[in-house]
Amino acid sequence: MTKQPGCPYPFKKLCGAAVAWKVSCVLARICGIPEREEEALLPFVAFATVGDVMDLEDENRILVREGLKRIAVADNLGLQALIRANGLDAADINAYHFGFVLGPCINASGRLDTARRSVRLLLAQTEEEAEQLAEQLKELNDERKQLTEQAVEKACAFIDSGAYGDDRVLVVYLPDCHESIAGIVAGKLREYYYRPVFVVTDAREGAKGSGRSIEAYSMFDEMVKCDDVFTKYGGHPMAAGFSLERERIDELRCRLNENCTLGEQELIEKICIDVPMPIDYITEDLVEQLALLEPFGKGNEKPLFAEAGLTLLGARILGKNASVLKFRVCNRAGRIMDAMYFGNVEEMRGYLEERYGAQRVQELFWGRGEGLTLDVTYYPSINEYMGNRTLQIVIKNYR
């Protein structure tokens, strides 16, 4: 984004909503409007800052922190209805919920329907209207998630079948994929395969697509090298959007791969930990001190800890959609703790079976695990259930 030349304002990373809020604050003071009226808008500034994936540093971190503090008492009927529709408690909302639960509901209307529905929600004057619109947005987001899962499954089937050979840059043509979710699909494929990914869909005129990249590959620079293939394109090193004629999709794939200079090491995702820390160092006081660093997000990531050689004592699959793995783990010092994994459950189970055999993994799920170990990166947390507080870790990566 181009910054205004000569602007003396010290922090240059505010999103558009934050800039609009600051202008409204000046106008409010000129008009003698009480400061509390300005503060009432902070939850929306926080929502927009996280939703726009701004760096949560400096002024942005303060705006998000202060906005989150005011969520529980925010008097916007639409926002409160959306929180309830997603089964959340307004007192427990954090930056994650803005980015991955509530934000996608707001965005879903613009992707699959019309953005006016989200505007109407936030301007709702009655609880009945707010509840109705919130439910509609949640249903749209559920539909968007289902469409995304179907598109990702289809793309993975193509890729795993060997149709793309040894391509280091994946150009996946999904003619039936809704063009508004192409970027989301590309992002998920990038996570699965750790390759630059371009997802192409059918559009009214030719084909249209979105790309998501990895650190070592400047997507926009590589597109410039074959810009004659596109009818329109734009983006930055990590993401791009484009249009082209359907007949040139294969040509795009070939040329991007011919130009690609990525080596094997660059196609291996690098995981950086903050501290290698045995789980017996974890205390409630430590978890509470780490919470002072919140809100976490882009530019202010959660600290990542690691321990090698955790012994798996037992495992259970939890959740309505069987989407959570819960382990009982023990480290070399004898500290036993629960460990939660919220990633791809089947993939992790498959990894364990490949390494230890299906029978031993089944015994682990029967509570008779023996000799199964994992190296993990994690973040410590406190699980509160029926008045009881217990320490646990949330596994981010494993090997």
Q: What is the average pLDDT across 134-155?
A: 93
Query: CA 201, CA 41: separation in Å to the nearest integer?
Result: 38
Asked if 16-144 and 275-398 have one fold, the answer is no
The fraction of the chain above a pLDDT of 70, given in percent, is 99
Question: Which pLDDT score is estimated for 247?
Answer: 95
Domain ranges of the chain: 16-144, 164-267, 275-398
| Statement: residue 113 has pLDDT above 80 | no
Question: Which pLDDT score is estimated for 340?
Answer: 96
| Statement: residue 115 has pLDDT above 90 | no
Q: What is the average pLDDT across 127-138?
A: 95
Residue 179: pLDDT band (50, 70, 90) is: confident
| Statement: residue 104 has pLDDT above 60 | yes
Tell me, yes or no, if the pTM score tops 0.85: no
| Statement: residue 309 has pLDDT above 70 | yes
Q: Which CATH architecture best describes the domain 275-398?
A: Beta Barrel (2.40)
Q: What is the average pLDDT across 1-21?
A: 86
Q: Which CATH architecture best describes the domain 16-144?
A: Alpha-Beta Complex (3.90)
pLDDT tens for residues 49-59?
Answer: 998 888 999 99
pLDDT averaged over every residue in the chain = 92
The CA-CA-CA angle for residues 263, 269, 270, to 5°, reads 105
Question: Which pLDDT score is estimated for 97?
Answer: 92
| Statement: residue 2 has pLDDT above 70 | no
Task: Write the secondary structure of the chain as one string of H (helix), E (strand) and C (coil).
Answer: CCCCCCCCCCCCCCCHHHHHHHHHHHHHHHCCCCHHHHHCCHHHHHHHHHHCCCCCCHHHHHHHHHHHHCHHHCCCHHHHHHHHHCCCCHHHCCHHHHHHHHHHHHHHHHHHCCCHHHHHHHCCCCHHHHHHHHHHHHHHHHHHHHHHHHHHHHHHHHHHCCCCCCCCCEEEECCCCCHHHHHHHHHHHHHHHCCCEEEEEECCCCEEEEEECCCCCCHHHHHHCCHHHEEEEEEECCEEEEEECHHHHHHHHHHHHHHCCCCCHHHCCCCCCCEECCHHHCCHHHHHHHHCCCCCECCECCCCEEEEEEEEEEEEEECCCCCEEEEEEECCCCCEEEEEECCCHHHHHHHHHHHHCHHHHHHHHCCCCCCCEEEEEEEEEEEEECCEEEEEEEEEEEC
| CATH pick for 164-267 out of 3.10.310.30, 3.50.50.60, 3.40.630.30, 3.30.70.100 | 3.10.310.30
pLDDT tens for residues 377-398?
Answer: 999 999 988 778 999 999 999 9
The fraction of the chain above a pLDDT of 90, given in percent, is 75
pLDDT tens for residues 339-386?
Answer: 999 988 999 999 999 999 999 999 999 988 788 999 999 999 999 887
Question: Which pLDDT score is estimated for 320?
Answer: 78
pLDDT tens for residues 258-298?
Answer: 999 999 999 988 889 999 999 999 999 999 999 999 999 88
